[in-house]
Structure 1
Amino acid sequence: MRHIFKASGSLLLLLLVIVFGSAESALAADYSKVSYEIADRSEATRGTSMRRGLQEVIVRLMGVREPGQYPAVRDMLRKPERFIQQYQYHSALADQGGDEVLQILMVFDVQAISRVLQEAQLPLWSGARANILVWMAVDEGDARYLIANNTHREVRELMDRIAQSRGISLLFPLYDLQEQKDIQFMDVWGGFFDYLKTASARYADTVILAGRIYKNRLDNDWVGGPWSMQIEDDYSTMEGGKGALLPVLEQVIDELVTRMRQQTLSVAGEITDMSVRMRIEGINQVANYARVIQYLTGLQSVQDVQINALIGDRLELILILQEGINSLEEEIALGTLLDVVSGQEALWYRLRP
């Protein structure tokens, strides 16, 4: 859900400090870094890794599994080095020991990438993303178990890597003595979601994902599902896939991302009849940010202000109007805070110094 601001005074300023001071840095920290194992340090290998890394960052920002369907993204992928802030090589031991493996670590310019995507009117998955609490029962044929936060590292880390590449974070239950008393393997396997929902209350502000996977004894394939999801108050289910473990887990994570994204997506054109999109340049300080929000929420023609994105020094908002757009423009013209930016679309302003 987008945040709606109708606050004032110290509370608003505190919120703005949190949002302004941490939103962009958190975005960059979470979504900008990518690393891969590579065969060598050749230019061709580096170029391939940069294209792959840029696509992964775009997936995180958009919440779309195949962003290459968009022409603007294909253009970006032709010269991924434009969006690289830094890269370096690193040698590390393989997970299972043995020989060293070569890795390339890359940091991408998330603000520049977001700017290009928004200028192309592509959908960005904006706003804070809740952690996902995963209740998963596994049947390997000769062993049955629940995945907890400190057990069965291989499956857990595989799911973590998939989630990270999609821009989300997973939590696994502690499965301490209290949870062992309340939740048994068959509760998760059988999809008794009410029990799981009650047990999940200790993990505040999380999306709940619950389901099962098992290994088919006939062909040794993994079979996933059914899965249950609760995103805020929205409960839904889905069937799983069949095949190798990686694609089976990817399928459920991709579907979860799609459903989470649908609740928070900000796309140009996805605006109600009484809503308009506004862009304001020159927002480079917390104080400026506060002035703009307080000013807009005080206008007679404005019912609510929804913060959509902050790209560089440009603030993008969705305004819910009580009156028409003409009334809004007239009110702003009478004020002394905002100037119209010529040559741009409607409701594009610059903050006066």
Structure 2
Amino acid sequence: MNCKSLFLSIILLFIASHAQASSIKRMYEVSQPVVSQDKQIRNAAFEQGLIEVAMRVSGSSRAPAEIDLMVASQMISQYRYFIMSEKEINAYMKQSASQGTPLEKPRYRLWMKFDDAKVKQQLGNNGLPIWGYQRPNVLIWLAVKDGKNRYLLKKSDQSQIKDTVEKEAHRRGLPIIWPEYDTLDRQQLSFIDVWGEFWEPLKQASQRYKADAVLLGKMNWANGSWQVNWSLLMEDRIESWKLSALDMGMITSSGIDVATDHVSSRFAVYANSANDGELLVRVSDLYSVKNFATVSHYLASLAPVKSVYASEVKGAQVDFYLELSGDEKDLKRIIALGKILQPDTRAEEEPSEYVVRQGQMPMDSEKPDTGVTAVQGIQSDNGQSAKQEPLSPEVQRPQKPQPNMLRYRINS
């Protein structure tokens, strides 16, 4: 193996092993309990699976009404059956009974994986956005009065309400955080503060969790039904809504649905060829292969990015060429959400003598000791967010206007 192939292998290894905490995994995978392996039942499960995947990828609760379910079976890339254990079956039947929807006892769990390109095309054709893998973490402060007790739900609690919230958040692809509500939290925040929606102590107590948004819920059982007041704090804006229902599962799921719609509306990107463009992103302080791989993976995973490659290296400074689905504002807004990059406002330094352009690979003897090199066609570990776009060293890219440049530095 030559030095170029070896270095590329190292880069890809780092990319595959450094995912971000708020990166959604298995976005296009879902499973459904089924009673048999009959084709008609399987196709019905495919339709339900497409509904879930479409909502997760678009971030929109409008997806079920907009997509074409008749083509669900044509969008499957893989599927397989797993025999359900008695414990799984009993848990499923118990949950169904509690929701007032008695169902036939299932025997199998049908796992299915949808083709990401076909799903994105389906969403785009029906006017729905794409929400990328990188998503904001949402901290949940949920105060409950159940008729007998009052309490704040915390990370260590075992609770049906908490389980329902987590299940719906997973279904919608919303990363959530439960508070520890330990001694440190209790010194800053009480049940009354949450119930009274006193945002100053809420903001102070939330700082330790470094969440991107805070979801406050006040859940009360009164007069034979549940009432919940929800408020979402994100980017210094508060959105509030109220829900009421007899069923606890329905009201908590609906609350997460509305919250997800609010969050995704800020970060999901609509496909619009009129806004497609190109951009250079110059990232500084990349002193190691790990830093290089982290930034490459991160840029490739962002919703507006169709493809990305490292076009030029100047010491510990790398220029990434991006093809966008959307515009520069979309990208800047989503990068501001994350914790990987921060704007570089320092004065531009003179280029070092060591410059590697896309399509080149220096010999070992020519490399300075920076730990960074140029690699063609960096691709995300899931192979879905960005495509390789290699250029042969012998092929010259046609001259065209230089795209705009954004300057960032990696967060230390």
> What range is the shorter-chain TM-score in?
0.5 to 0.7
Gaps of 5+ in 2: 1-10, 95-104, 280-295, 301-306, 313-317, 335-379, 390-396, 404-412
User: Residues 135-163 of structure 1, C-alpha deviation per residue, up to 9 Å, x if partnerless?
Assistant: 00111101211111111321111001111
Distance 1:22 1:119 in 2: 30
Q: Is the 8 A contact 1:137 1:213 kept in 2?
A: yes
Q: Which amino acid aligns with 1:90?
A: I
Q: 1:66 aligns with which of 51, 62, 66?
A: 62
* Alignment correspondent of 2:276: 277
Structure 1 residues 195-274: aligned runs within 5 Å: 195-216=201-222, 218=223, 220-225=224-229, 227-269=230-272
4+ residue runs over 6 A deviation = 97-100, 302-305, 307-310
* Alignment correspondent of 2:331: 306
Shift in Å, 1:37: 2.6
Distance 2:329 2:218 in 1: 42
Distance 1:205 1:270 in 2: 33
Root mean square deviation, CA, Å: 4.0
Q: Which amino acid aligns with 2:246?
A: G
Q: Is the 8 A contact 1:111 1:312 kept in 2?
A: no
Q: 1:185 aligns with which of 159, 176, 191?
A: 191
Q: Is the 8 A contact 2:308 2:388 kept in 1?
A: no
TM-score normalised by the chain length of structure 1: 0.68
Task: Give % identity.
Answer: 20
Q: Is the 8 A contact 1:89 1:104 kept in 2?
A: yes
TM-score normalised by the chain length of structure 2: 0.59
Shift in Å, 1:289: 1.2
Shift in Å, 1:252: 1.8
Shift in Å, 1:239: 2.4
* Alignment correspondent of 1:88: 81
Structure 1 residues 289-300: aligned runs within 5 Å: 289-291=309-311, 294=319
Distance 1:129 1:269 in 2: 21
* Alignment correspondent of 2:30: 34
Distance 2:330 2:250 in 1: 41
Distance 1:314 1:120 in 2: 27
Shift in Å, 1:173: 0.7
3-state secondary structure, aligned to 1:205: coil
3-state secondary structure, aligned to 1:58: helix
Q: Is the 8 A contact 1:241 1:251 kept in 2?
A: no
Matched positions, count: 287
* Alignment correspondent of 2:41: 45
Q: Is the 8 A contact 1:215 1:221 kept in 2?
A: yes
Q: Is the 8 A contact 1:207 1:230 kept in 2?
A: yes
Q: 1:149 aligns with which of 135, 152, 155?
A: 155
Q: Is the 8 A contact 2:155 2:180 kept in 1?
A: yes
* Alignment correspondent of 1:161: 167
* Alignment correspondent of 2:399: 334
Q: Is the 8 A contact 1:228 1:238 kept in 2?
A: yes
Q: Is the 8 A contact 1:30 1:167 kept in 2?
A: no
* Alignment correspondent of 1:54: 50
* Alignment correspondent of 1:318: none
3-state secondary structure, aligned to 1:199: helix
Distance 1:256 1:32 in 2: 21
Q: Is the 8 A contact 1:279 1:314 kept in 2?
A: no
Q: Which amino acid aligns with 1:306?
A: L
Q: Which amino acid aligns with 1:114?
A: K
Q: Is the 8 A contact 1:115 1:311 kept in 2?
A: no
3-state secondary structure, aligned to 1:30: coil
Distance 2:328 2:183 in 1: 49
Gaps of 5+ in 1: 1-13, 316-331, 339-353
Distance 1:232 1:270, change over 3 A: farther
Distance 1:161 1:177 in 2: 28
